[in-house]
Every structure is written in structure tokens, then in C-alpha cells.
Copies of this chain bind each other. A is one copy, B any other.
Amino acid sequence: MNIGILGTGAVAQTIGSALVENGHAVQLGSRTLSNEKAAAWVQKTGGRGSQGTFADAASFGELLFICLNGAVAVDVVAETDVASYHQKVVIDVTNPLDFSRGMPPSLLPQYSNQFSLGEHLQKTLPHAYVVKALNTVTARLMVNAMLVNDGNHNLFICGNEVDAKNQVKHLLADNFKWKPEQIMDMGDIEAARLTEAIIPFWVGVMQVMGTPLFNYQVVR
């Protein structure tokens, strides 16, 4: 399918490359048509990927990924034509991290505690189906769940539309090797408050583990 990715950083490129390898047509969107990181990525895909503006990518994709810096994500999305997102599944991979006080980060106050970036994105795109997913693991693991513990570890997703969440589950299983039974539906998009708030903790665990290549398995 045609997939648009807003963003050109490591997360956007990693997801984009994995989707291209799975046969999808992928366009990375950025502020300018000539973004150098996107151009290098397009070359790396052997021209199977493409690049465009944020608006181009939003319009291109039947399904969209938002892989933007948490501090600017809502503004970037609001500046594109929100009609481009109409009835599309939008996978929100962002985290509202504030590194200004060093490591581990805190959350951007406007998206912390009783607020979240996922909810703000859903409010900005009222006619899209925003599903918060993949934000709780490192980029390499997002696109290959088998890299950790034979795929036995959990992904926590949330969103208002059950059908959209099911579509995301299938996409993650078919393209990124996530075992469906390991994907835990945390409820509606308000649960983004929960799954974003664990990211500073994730950074702390990463510092202890000495690698970002880990995840949590809920055990009983």
C-alpha cells in the first residue's frame, strides 16, 4: 500500500526502509522538497522510496506514520491540510521528550500527566484514526520484534477506533514480526498519557542495560 511518513530522522528512515522491503510504496515527508536526509534515504532504497513535503506525504499515504520530534509534531500536522488525513489510520510514534535538563529526559509539560501528545494529535486530526504505537521501543526493534527474546515482549498501543487498532496490529505482525498476542490494547487515545509517561523510565532502564535493544514482558 501507499504509506506516508512525516519525519526524516532515524525512526522515520528505519520504519520507511522496513516498509519498502515489505513491498510498500513509501514517501518521507519533510519541511522542504529537497531535504538531504530524505534524499539520502531515497537513494538507499534504490529509488523504491520517495520524498516530498509534509503535505505531499500526508496526501500520498493511505496510511500514515508520524515520526516527528515531539516538540513540533502538533504544529507540523496542523500546518498541513488536515483533510489529507480524512478517515486514514495515523500511527503516532512520537514521544514528548524534553532533554533540556539532561538525561534521562522529562516530558514536555504541556503533554505530561493529565495530557498527552497522542491526544493532541487526535484532536488536531478529528477525522483521522490515530493509533499510538511503537513509541515504547527503540527504532530497530520497532521493525523487527524478533531481535529481543524471540519476539516475546509487549507492545502497548491505544486509540479510539477498534478497527484502526486491528489494522495496525495486522500491519505490525505482517511487516515487523510482532506477535499479535504480545500487542496489548491499552484502550482509547487517552491511554497515550500512560504509554508516553513510561519513556523517561525507558531511558533510565536503557542506561542500566547499556543497550536500547530491550523491552518489557508482562508476566504473571
**Min CB–CB distance A196 → chain B (angstroms):** 9
Whether the Cβ atoms of B208 and A219 lie closer than 8 Å is: no
Contacts of A193 in B (CB 8 A): 106, 200
How many residues does chain A have at the interface if contact means C-beta atoms less than 8 Å apart? 40
The one of B109, B156, B214 that contacts A113, using a Cβ cutoff of 8 Å:
B109
Residue-wise, chain A 183-194 has the 8 Å CB interface mask toward B (1 for contact) of 011110001011
Contacts of A185 in B (CB 8 A): 208
A152-201 contacts to B (CB < 8 Å): 152-153, 156, 184-187, 191, 193-195, 197-198, 200-201
Chain B minimum-CB-distance residue to A214? B220
Does chain B have a CB within 8 A of A112? yes
> CA of A211 to CA of B219 in the docked complex: distance in angstroms?
11
Whether the Cβ atoms of B104 and A113 lie closer than 8 Å is: no
The one of B153, B156, B208, B219 that contacts A184, using a Cβ cutoff of 8 Å:
B208
Contacts of A43 in B (CB 8 A): none
Whether the Cβ atoms of A213 and B217 lie closer than 8 Å is: no
Whether the Cβ atoms of A197 and B195 lie closer than 8 Å is: no
Whether the Cβ atoms of A107 and B113 lie closer than 8 Å is: yes
> CA of A148 to CA of B195 in the docked complex: distance in angstroms?
23
Chain B minimum-CB-distance residue to A112? B113
Whether the Cβ atoms of B107 and A148 lie closer than 8 Å is: no
Does chain B have a CB within 8 A of A216? yes
Does chain B have a CB within 8 A of A126? no
Whether the Cβ atoms of B219 and A149 lie closer than 8 Å is: yes
| 19 A-B pairs in the complex with CB atoms less than 8 angstroms apart | A101-B114, A104-B194, A106-B113, A106-B114, A112-B112, A113-B113, A149-B220, A152-B219, A156-B201, A156-B205, A184-B205, A184-B208, A193-B200, A194-B200, A194-B204, A197-B197, A214-B218, A214-B219, A217-B219
